[in-house]
Amino acid sequence: MSLIRSKNTKPELIVRKIVHALGLRFRLHGSNLPGRPDLVLKRHQAVILVNGCFWHRHVCKFGRVVPKTRTDFWEAKRSANVARDRRNKRDLRRLGWTPITVWECETRDIERVQRKLRFFRPDRKS
Ligand SMILES: [Zn+2]
């Protein structure tokens, strides 16, 4: 497992580009919000969480991968991530934010991400 969760990952950069192209303004890593969401669209009271499929156990072929070594360790880690994701989303909603999860596998298809975010109105010219 050479995957290390870090800031400014490639899927995150892809999502930023798409959000920017949609004319939406955002801030990065909302440090005062639960789970420090990757993108914060303050004007829309929404946050975008860019999640790695393996780490956050997406229901896709990448999320279903079971490591052959240190299986218990990874599974415990991933379960903790999923539980934390759930908690963070709940807390965000309670604070009036709309959390939107964009999965790593979705960033391979830019149109798919655009569709997911198209209900936002651009911030420009207003
Ligand atoms: Zn996935």
What is the DSSP code string of 38-101? SEEEGGGTEEEEEE-TTTTT-SSTTTT---SSSHHHHHHHHHHHHHHHHHHHHHHHHTT-EEEE
Is the predicted pLDDT of residue 2 greater than 50, yes or no?
no
- Residue at 118: amino acid letter: R
More confident: 117 or 125: 117
Is the predicted pLDDT of residue 76 greater than 90, yes or no?
yes
83-99 average pLDDT score = 97
57-82 average pLDDT score = 95
126 Cα to the center of ligand 1, angstroms:
35
25-29 average pLDDT score = 93
124 Cα to the center of ligand 1, angstroms:
31
Is the predicted pLDDT of residue 14 greater than 90, yes or no?
yes
Q: Give the residues across from 27 on adjacent strands.
A: 40
Of the pLDDT bands very low, low, confident and very high (cuts 50, 70, 90), residue 122 is confident
Which of 50, 25, 12 has its CA nearest to residue 121?
A: 25
Is the predicted pLDDT of residue 72 greater than 80, yes or no?
yes
Positive or negative CA dihedral for 104, 110, 112, 114?
positive
Q: Which residue has the tokens 């908690």?
A: 87
The percent of residues in the chain predicted with pLDDT above 90, rounded, is 83
Output the pLDDT for position 7: 58
68 Cα to the center of ligand 1, angstroms:
19
101 Cα to the center of ligand 1, angstroms:
11
Output the pLDDT for position 6: 53
Average pLDDT score over the chain = 91
